[in-house]
Structure 1
Amino acid sequence: MIEEQGRVVAVESGAVWVETLRKSTCSSCSANAGCGQGLLDKLGVSGRRGYVRALSDLQLAVGDAVVLGVREDLLVRGSLLVYLFPLLGLFASALLAEQLGLAEPLVILASFLGFAASWFGVRWRSIRTASDPALQPVVVRALLVGAAGLI
């Protein structure tokens, strides 16, 4: 399970909203001087806070420090779905248009249409599975009061 610390900002029935600080590992990378992400990290753009809804059966209050958990397989499957599926749609539609003997501008248009259709498919699946409890982050544990100052 992948874990991240955060602070509770709102409490719902069976869930909490948690504020997390987006961190970057650019300071430890050897290529950070020539990288756009490293430049954004130095400018403070990547230090924004994110808000995550996490399932919880613990009695928590606003301001409590917690540890969130996400299963590794969900993260890998989600990454493949979001990044790989639209690219496969782009290439598959371009190859299909090429095999049909269409002109180059139509092949390019078909590739963009395949990308868009795949992206809409990913978006539809995301909306359809958003309320599935098996796919939600969960609060693994609450941290001690002294640990809340780290966030």
Structure 2
Amino acid sequence: MIEEQGRVVALEPGAVWVETLRKSTCSSCSANAACGQGLMDRLGVGRQRGYVRALSQMQLAIGDTVVIGVREDLLVRSSLLVYLLPLLGLFAAALLADGLGLPEPLIILAGLAGLFASWLMVRWRAARVAENPLLQPVVLRALLVPVSAAG
């Protein structure tokens, strides 16, 4: 399970909205001290807050610190779907157009059409499974935060 810590910002029946801080992995890189991206990360430039809807049966309140989780296999499958399928659509359509002997501008257009069609398939699939509880992030546990650290 891939875990991320966040703060509850809204409540729904059976779910909560959790605010997380998106951060880069620059702090674990050996070139961090000499890297411009590492400097930007230390200065806080580019940090964004993300909002995630997570299923929960716990009694939580706004402001509670929680740990949410997503299954690893779900993340890998989703990544393959989002990144690999459009790329395969681009190449398949371009190769098909090339195999038909079309001129280069039409091969390029066919590749772009394959990319767009694959992207539409990804969007359709995402909309179809959006409400499936097996594919949703879940609240794993609530964390106790000292009163002096809260705020």
| TM-score, length-scaled by structure 2 | 0.90
Give the match for residue 134 of structure 1. Answer: 134
1:23 Cα offset (Å): 1.3
Aligned residues: 150
Q: Quick one: structure 1 residues 123 and 149, their matched pair in 2 at CA, closer, same or farther if it must change by over 3 Å? A: farther
Give the match for residue 118 of structure 1. Answer: 118
Give the match for residue 102 of structure 1. Answer: 102
Q: Is the 8 A contact 1:19 1:50 kept in 2?
A: yes
Q: Is the 8 A contact 1:64 1:148 kept in 2?
A: no
Q: Which amino acid aligns with 1:96?
A: L
C-alpha distance after superposition, 1:40-75 (max 9, x if no partner): 535634311100000000000000000001000000
Q: Quick one: structure 1 residues 111 and 18, their matched pair in 2 at CA, closer, same or farther if it must change by over 3 Å? A: same
Q: Is the 8 A contact 1:21 1:47 kept in 2?
A: yes
Percent identical pairs in the alignment equals 73
SS of the equivalent of 2:102 reads coil
Give the match for residue 23 of structure 2. Answer: 23
Structure 2 stretches lacking a partner, 5+ long: none
Structure that is richer in helix per residue: 1
| TM-score, length-scaled by structure 1 | 0.90
**How far apart, CA to CA, are the structure 1 residues paired with 2:147 and 2:24?**
21
Find runs of 4+ consecutive structure 1 residues off by over 4 angstroms. Answer: 31-35, 37-40
**How far apart, CA to CA, are the structure 2 residues paired with 1:148 and 1:67?**
20
Matched ranges for 1:81-96 at <5 A: 81-96=81-96
C-alpha distance after superposition, 1:82-140 (max 9, x if no partner): 00000000000000000000000000000000000000110111111111100000000
1:30 Cα offset (Å): 3.8
Q: Is the 8 A contact 1:65 1:148 kept in 2?
A: no
**How far apart, CA to CA, are the structure 2 residues paired with 1:17 and 1:148?**
24
